[in-house]
């Protein structure tokens, strides 16, 4: 069964610092998603990673995928307060099952 583990679950950062969120999954997948969620809101897609070695960047966020290690990372560079949110990774298996990580609540402090 496809399982997704995300860590850390809580992350408190100072503005300007860098950090990485990790997403491990248990079986071969077809694609991996990173989402952002603000409190009480829907999930907003940030990245879709399709192949081994895929790297995507948008602003201060960069996501990468290592399918051999079954690991994706979301790297935050020079964090700013606006990045405070909950970040989820989700993995879609080859039979179109979707599994989510538990989310990382990021708080960026001045």
Q: Which residues bind other proteins (CB under 8 A)?
A: 9-10, 35, 40-45, 86, 88, 90, 97-100, 102-103, 105
Residue closer to other proteins (CB basis): 41 or 109: 41
Measured from the CB atom, is 7 or 52 closer to other proteins? Answer: 7
Upper half-sphere CA count for residue 94 (Cβ side, 13 Å): 5
Q: In the bound complex, what is the minimum distance in angstroms from residue 97's beta carbon to other proteins?
A: 6
Q: Please, what is the minimum distance in Å from the beta carbon of residue 57 to other proteins? A: 20
Shortest spacing between CB 88 and other proteins, in angstroms: 8
User: To 10 degrees, the CA torsion angle through 72, 75, 81, 87?
Assistant: 0
Residue 81 to residue 12: CA distance in whole angstroms: 11
Q: How many CA atoms lie within 13 A of 77 on its CB side?
A: 7
> Shortest approach of other proteins to residue 87 CB, angstroms?
11
Contact 35, 90 (CB under 8 A): yes
């Amino acid at each position: 069964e496809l399982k997704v583990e995300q860590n850390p679950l809580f992350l408190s950062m100072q503005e300007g610092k860098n950090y990485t969120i990790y997403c491990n999954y248990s079986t071969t997948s077809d694609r991996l998603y990173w989402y952002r969620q603000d409190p009480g809101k829907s999930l907003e897609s940030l990245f879709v990673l399709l192949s081994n070695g895929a790297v995507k960047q948008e602003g201060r966020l960069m996501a990468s995928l290592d399918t051999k290690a079954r690991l994706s990372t979301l790297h935050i560079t020079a964090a700013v307060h606006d990045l405070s949110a909950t970040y989820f990774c989700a993995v879609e298996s080859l039979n179109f099952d979707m599994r989510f990580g538990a989310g990382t609540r990021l708080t960026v402090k001045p």
